[in-house]
Amino acid sequence: MSFSYRLLLLVVVSTVMIRSVSAEIEAIEGKRYPLTDKHGPWMIMVAAIRDVAEERRVTEGLTANEAADRLVYELRRKGIPAYTYSIDERVEELSATRPNSSRRYVAQQGYISVLAGNFEHNNSAVAQRVLEYIKTKFEPEFLENPENGGILPKTKGRPSPLSRAFITANPLFDGEVRDSEYDSLMLDLNAGQRFSLLHCKGRYSLTVATFQGGSVMQMRGRDSARAMSFFERHFGKSLDECAERAMSLAEALRNARKYGYDEDFEAYVLHDKYRSVVTIGSFSSPGDPRIRQLVSRFGGKQIGNPRTGEEVLAAESFTIPKLSRIGQIPKDSWVFDGEPELIRVPQIGK
């Protein structure tokens, strides 16, 4: 029996109940279980959690980290190996809209993802049963207490808090994870698309911007009309909207000189089932010196937060046109990822 299957939960098929196997799955309240490259390779993306901005909170409740740890603990109590995966904070610096006024800083705390299971195959019977349990049967106890906070957008087809869970690959897994269903999906999502990364001739490209869909659970805020409205405006974007924004950025980057920049960029777009990313460049090796230059140009910069004095990562932005004077309002703008990531170009159909 393999390592990954020894960690799997016991499933009573007749009732689809999950029984805790404490001898194999440790569950210590308050302990953090971070994701590593040893887990997976296939897992269930349970939830992506983020904090509500300080000025938007309507109750104290749990932080995103606390909520993620609690969710992991409750899953482990059911015998499901679960882990947290953190994405670093991004800070977007916005130019003032009026001359001589102070700059504004919008802090966007990164997502804390909760992933569960260690499956060798994404279409295994056990993986599918566990996924179905999480989506339809599992009710986290901590969400029942309104004092803990939390916003779960109530939409059609979302009967339970974790209905949007899906099977995905461990983002830290050291090795290629191939799946015919995934390849087919990627072809469907990217076929006929302009600037598709599938057409990139290199083996690697640098991800500079990520557009995430609305599969987000927000903590530290009650389900009030004001908080829900804020959620829908800022984090409830559909995947179609994300795809459109990614395509618009790629087109703008490819025509950057027209908007006042020094050069055009070889930009690509890749869509998958929960996000769209924009990449720049085509490289045959991860050691290509051009990669470091692009990371320096598009990656975030460490700056001092004017309110706290602490060092924060300020994300770079791209505007149309390039801003040349204080108070100039762009026609459109995008914020790059704080930490660009080199990815392999999918070899689908190649």
Only one residue has tokens 């971070």, namely: 34
Name the residue with higher pLDDT: 142 or 104: 142
Tokens of 323: 């801003």
Determine phi and psi for 279, rounding to 5 degrees.
Answer: -120, 160
pLDDT tier for residue 325 given thresholds of 50, 70 and 90: confident
pLDDT greater than 60 at residue 5: no
Residue type, 174: D
pLDDT greater than 60 at residue 337: yes
pLDDT tier for residue 229 given thresholds of 50, 70 and 90: low
Measured distance CA(80)–CA(70) in Å, rounded? 13
**Is residue 251 assigned to a domain?**
yes
Residues 298, 286: contact at Cβ < 8 Å?
no
**Is residue 190 assigned to a domain?**
no
Q: What is the mean pLDDT of residues 204-208?
A: 96
pLDDT above 70: percentage of residues in the chain? 68
Q: Which residues of 233-249 are buried (b: 16+ CB within 10 A; e: fewer)?
A: eebbbebeebbebbbeb
pLDDT tier for residue 58 given thresholds of 50, 70 and 90: very low
168-181 pLDDT tens trace: 888 887 666 656 56
List the domain range (segments joined by +) for residue 218. 3-184+195-344
Residue type, 345: V
Tokens of 15: 């009732």
- Please state whether beta strands 267-271 and 311-315 pair in parallel, antiparallel, or not at all (unpaired): unpaired
Closest CA to 39 of 130, 176, 174, 166: 174
Residues 190, 270: contact at Cβ < 8 Å?
yes
Residues 151, 221: contact at Cβ < 8 Å?
yes
**Is residue 189 assigned to a domain?**
no
**Is residue 123 assigned to a domain?**
yes
Which regions of 190-274 does DSSP assign to beta strands (E)? Answer: 204-212, 217-219, 267-271
**Is residue 233 assigned to a domain?**
yes
**Is residue 153 assigned to a domain?**
yes
For residue 186, the surrounding DSSP H or E stretch is helix 180-190
Name the residue with higher pLDDT: 228 or 348: 348
Measured distance CA(160)–CA(280) in Å, rounded? 38
Name the residue with higher pLDDT: 61 or 9: 61
**Is residue 78 assigned to a domain?**
yes
Output the pTM of the full model: 0.49
**Is residue 350 assigned to a domain?**
no
Residues 49, 111: contact at Cβ < 8 Å?
yes
Q: What pLDDT score does 342 carry?
A: 94
Q: How many domains does the chain have?
A: 1
